[in-house]
C-alpha cells in the first residue's frame, strides 16, 4: 500500500490517501489541543501510544462483533483504515460524572451515575460541537433513525466491553467519546480513535487521572499517564 496525498489534517492526526481508493492511512502526531483548539501543546510519545491503543481496542471490539474501520497497523504512528464518511456526531458515554456533565448538572466529579448515559454533540468546530438530542440529529439529517439505533447499540457494547477489560488492568472507564462513519455501502462502523485523548481513565486504587485531563487542566504528568496506560495495556 502506497501512501499518497494528504487528504485532511486534523488537530492530532493527519489522513493520507493511498493507491487503494477504499483505504486511507491515519498518521498520529504528538499534537494536543483542548478548548476547541484554543489551547495547544505537545504530549511527547502520545501519537504512538494513541495509535497502538486504538488499534488494540478496535481489534478486540471487532472480535466482539462491533465493526470498525481498522485494517492494519503500518508503523508506530501509522494505520491503514477503511475510508468512511464520518457521521457528524460525537457520541459520548458516561459511567461516572466528570467534565462537562459535572459542570452542566452541578454533580460532583466522581459521582457514580445510576445508569450509564449516552449523549450526542453535533460535530461542528465553528459551533463548538453543541450538545444535541436524538430529534435534533434526525431533524438536521445527520443520520437516519435506524443508524442512530445502531450507533447507540454499538456505543453501549463498546462501553460494556471496555469497562470490564480496563477494570482488569486497574483502570476505571469514567467516560469516552466515539465517532462512527459509513462505508461506501452504508454500513456503520466505529472510526476515529479510542485513547487517553478521547476517554477518561482513572486508576482504580488511587483515582489518579491517566488521560488528557492532565493536559486540559494543566496538572502535569500527561506523558507519564499515557505511558502508564500503555504499560498496563501492552505490558510495556
Ligand atoms: P466532556 O466531559 O468534556 O464532555 O468529555 C466527555 C468525554 O469525551 C471525555 O472522555 C473526553 C471526550 N472528549 C473528546 O474526545 N473530544 C472532545 O472534543 C471533548 C469535548 C470530549
C-alpha cell at 221: 504528568
**Is residue 117 scored above 90 in pLDDT?**
yes
pLDDT tens for 88-107 read 999 999 999 999 999 999 99
Output the CA 32–ligand 1 centroid distance in Å: 13
Write down all domains in the chain, each with its CATH number in brackets.
3-82 (3.30.200.20), 85-221 (3.30.470.20)
How many other C-beta atoms are found inside a 10 Å radius of the C-beta of residue 84?
22
Please state, for a pLDDT cut of 90, what percent of the chain lies above it. 97
**Is residue 37 scored above 90 in pLDDT?**
no
Q: What is the mean pLDDT of the chain?
A: 97
Cell match 452542566: residue?
104
Output the CA 198–ligand 1 centroid distance in Å: 6
∠118-89-191 over CA atoms, to 5°?
95
**Would the CB of 92 count as within 6 Å of ligand 1?**
yes
Output the CA 21–ligand 1 centroid distance in Å: 31
* 68 conformational bin, left if phi > 0, alpha if psi -120 to 50, beta if neither: beta
Look up the pTM and report it: 0.97
**Would the CB of 198 count as within 6 Å of ligand 1?**
yes
- How does DSSP classify residue 75? S
pLDDT tens for 141-154 read 999 999 999 999 99
pLDDT tens for 174-206 read 999 999 999 999 999 999 999 999 999 999 999
Spatial neighbors of 90 by CB under 8 A, at least 6 apart, are 120, 121, 123, 129, 177, 178, 179
Residue 36 is predicted with a pLDDT of: 85
Length of the chain: 236
Among 135, 49, 123, which residue's Cα sits nearest to residue 88? 123
Amino acid at each position: 500500500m502506497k501512501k499518497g496525498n494528504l487528504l485532511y489534517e486534523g488537530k492530532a492526526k493527519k489522513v493520507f490517501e493511498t493507491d487503494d481508493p477504499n483505504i486511507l492511512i491515519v498518521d498520529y502526531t504528538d499534537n494536543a489541543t483542548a478548548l476547541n483548539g484554543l489551547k495547544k501543546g505537545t504530549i511527547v510519545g502520545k501519537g504512538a501510544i494513541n495509535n497502538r491503543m486504538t488499534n488494540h481496542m478496535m481489534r478486540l471490539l471487532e472480535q466482539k462483533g462491533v465493526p470498525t474501520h481498522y485494517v492494519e497497523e503500518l508503523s508506530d504512528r501509522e494505520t491503514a483504515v477503511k475510508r468512511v464518511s464520518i457521521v457528524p456526531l460525537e457520541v459520548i458515554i458516561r459511567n461516572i460524572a466528570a467534565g462537562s456533565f459535572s459542570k452542566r448538572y452541578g454533580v460532583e466529579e466522581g459521582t457514580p451515575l445510576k445508569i450509564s448515559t449516552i449523549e450526542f454533540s453535533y460535530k461542528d468546530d465553528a459551533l463548538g460541537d453543541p450538545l444535541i438530542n436524538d430529534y435534533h440529529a434526525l431533524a438536521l439529517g445527520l443520520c437516519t433513525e435506524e443508524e442512530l439505533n445502531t450507533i447507540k447499540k454499538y456505543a453501549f457494547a463498546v462501553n460494556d466491553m471496555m469497562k470490564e477489560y480496563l477494570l482488569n488492568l486497574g483502570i476505571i472507564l469514567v467516560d469516552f467519546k466515539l465517532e462512527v462513519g459509513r462505508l461506501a455501502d452504508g454500513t456503520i462502523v466505529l472510526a476515529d480513535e479510542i485513547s487517553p485523548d478521547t476517554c477518561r481513565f482513572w486508576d482504580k486504587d488511587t483515582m489518579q487521572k491517566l488521560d488528557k485531563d492532565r493536559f486540559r487542566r494543566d496538572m502535569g504528568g500527561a506523558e507519564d499517564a499515557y505511558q502508564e496506560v500503555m504499560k498496563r495495556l501492552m505490558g510495556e
